[in-house]
Amino acid sequence: MSSRLRRLGAVARRVLQQLSRDSRFLILSVAAPLAVIYLLKVFLDTMAVPFIDSTTLAIPIGAFIVHFVTYVLCAIVLVRERTAQTLQRMFVSGYRRPEIIGGYVLAYSVIATVQSSLVLVELRALFGLAYPTETLLSIYAVIWLLAVISIAFGICVSNFARTEGQVFPLIPLVILPSVFLSGIIIDVDRLPVWAQWLSHVIPLYYANLGLQALMIPGARLLDSWQSLLSLAAYGVGVLAAGTLTLRERD
């Protein structure tokens, strides 16, 4: 194994060690989306719009909840490292930017995997999703990929904050446009042209496209390949941006 990969693994291992010693954080990060999805079920049942299948709303909103929780959890991590001066110490010790970002994404992907799995299980149980196993796995792939991108997105955003307090205004700045412009509530085509362009920089837009394609009866993973590819490319872009914007020096 190359020394770069070894160091990336060391960062991931250290982050997981830290997370494993914070049981409250772990429980909340997994339980919070599950509780919100239950409230979503109550809301959609109460709303009961005729001729609208609640599952077509539940799956994209479930994906949004995973995106939101994962993004918020990660938006603060590097700021904490910076204020504690451990980030500076990592750099001086010889850790490099891609190893630090990669290690964080790898470690938080473990949480994202558990979170995405439980969210899908809950969605299936509450909304009685009657999709074949292949479609369900495809939906899982989209939600999981979105969760991993949310990690990178959160880390990237946290590079622009110097203190933990500066992170908070950045949270609604990213999350609320996702709700309005990603297509989960209204069709993107109905938005003004400039807003349609803006929707293209929102990761949830690509995830929603993929999920909508998969929810058509008889759909397969390949049917949403364009969205998956866009989502993957988006992830690579955000990772690169996160790595390049991580300040090593002042």
Each residue 89-118 as x (binds another protein by CB under 8 A) or -, in order, gives xxxxxxxx----------------------
Amino acid at 149: I
Tokens standing for 126? 């509450």
- Identity of the residue, 1 or 48, whose beta carbon is nearer to another protein in the bound complex: 1
Rounded Cα gap, residues 165 and 156, in angstroms: 16
Interface with another protein (CB under 8 A), residue from 5, 17, 43, 216: 17
Rule CB under 8 A: say whether 187 interacts with another protein.
no
- Identity of the residue, 10 or 198, whose beta carbon is nearer to another protein in the bound complex: 10
Interface with another protein (CB under 8 A), residue from 187, 190, 193, 250: 250
Each residue 65-84 as x (binds another protein by CB under 8 A) or -, in order, gives -------------------x
Neighbours of 72 (CB within 10 A): 18
Interface with another protein (CB under 8 A), residue from 39, 45, 85, 185: 85
Query: What percent helix, strand, coil does the chain show, rounded to 5?
Result: 80, 0, 20
* Residue 80 near residue 165 (C-beta atoms within 8 A): no
**Residue where the block lists tokens 């909340």:** 28
- Identity of the residue, 190 or 249, whose beta carbon is nearer to another protein in the bound complex: 249
Rounded Cα gap, residues 103 and 44, in angstroms: 39
Residues 22-61 touching another protein, rule: CB under 8 A, are 22
Which stretch in 14-22, 32-40, 152-160, 212-220 sits in contact with another protein by CB under 8 A?
14-22
Interface with another protein (CB under 8 A), residue from 47, 52, 86, 137: 86
The helix-helix angle for 133-158 and 97-127 (nearest 10°) equals 140
- Identity of the residue, 85 or 226, whose beta carbon is nearer to another protein in the bound complex: 85
Neighbours of 47 (CB within 10 A): 10
* Residue 112 near residue 144 (C-beta atoms within 8 A): yes
Tokens standing for 52? 């609208």
Residues at the interface with another protein (CB under 8 A) = 3, 6-7, 10, 13-14, 17-18, 21-22, 84-86, 88-96, 248-250
